Structure 1
Amino acid sequence: MITPQNLFQHELIGLNVEIIESPNKGLIGIKGKVVDETRNTIRVEVNDGHESVIPKNVAIFHFQTPQGYIVEIDGQILVSRPEDRIKKKFRKI
């Protein structure tokens, strides 16, 4: 079960996301559904049907869990291959 405390250890594909902060002002405000994830990027499908590739290390994200919680995560924490991040042990945040 995905909770706000363990979101970064779960699969992000399928979750709704919004970029709330980034040095690249063009990324701020992008929101949609995560459709793919690589080591350094997240691919987001926005409402008009096109996809945006967001670098993880330069953004702060708001992810919405299936239960409706909004979780803010610094993209620096997410930089790793998804299959490795899921196995990684994190200190309590």
Structure 2
Amino acid sequence: MITAQTLLWHELIGLAVSVVKAGNPAYVGISGPIMDETRNMLVILTPSGTRRVEKKGCVFLFTLPGGVRAEVDGSALVARPEKRISMRNKR
């Protein structure tokens, strides 16, 4: 089960997300479900199409199943998804 405390160790694809702070002002306000994830980027589906947002330098607001919201610094997400998920077993 995904909680605010375990979010970093779960798959992010499919979760609703909003960019609340960013070094690049063009990213602020982008929201929608995550369609894909790479080491440094989240691909977010917006009404106008997909947008690629850098993880580093942004703060994201995730809406988890059950309606719980969690704010995450994008720097904590910078890693290959499969490596970030497997780090759970090492902590």
Tell me whether the two structures share a fold, i.e. TM-score over 0.5.
yes
Residues 37-52 of structure 1 mapped to structure 2, 5 A cutoff: 37-48=37-48, 50-52=49-51
Q: Deviation per CA, 1:36-85: give whole Å up to 9, x if none.
A: 0000000000123x000000002100001011111000000000000000
- Other-structure match for 2:79: 80
CA RMSD of aligned residues (A): 1.3
4+ residue runs of structure 1 moved beyond 3 angstroms? none
Tell me which residue corresponds to 2:15: 15
Distance (Å, rounded) in 2 between the aligned partners of 1:68 and 1:7: 14
AA partner of residue 34 (structure 2): V
TM-score (norm 1): 0.92
Corresponding position of 1:62? 61
Residue identity matched to 2:4: P
Distance in 2 between residues matched to 1:67 and 1:47, nearest whole Å: 23
Structure 1 residue runs without a partner (length 5+): none
Q: Does 1:29 align with 2:29?
A: yes
Structure 2, unaligned runs of 5 or more:
none
Percent identity between matched residues is: 41
Question: CA separation in 2, counterparts of 1:69 and 1:46?
Answer: 21
Number of equivalenced pairs = 90
**Per-residue deviation, residues 6-59 of structure 1 (Å, max 9, x unmatched):** 0111000000000000111110000001000000000000123x0000000021
The TM-score, its normalising length taken from structure 2, stands at 0.94
Which one has the bigger strand percentage? 2
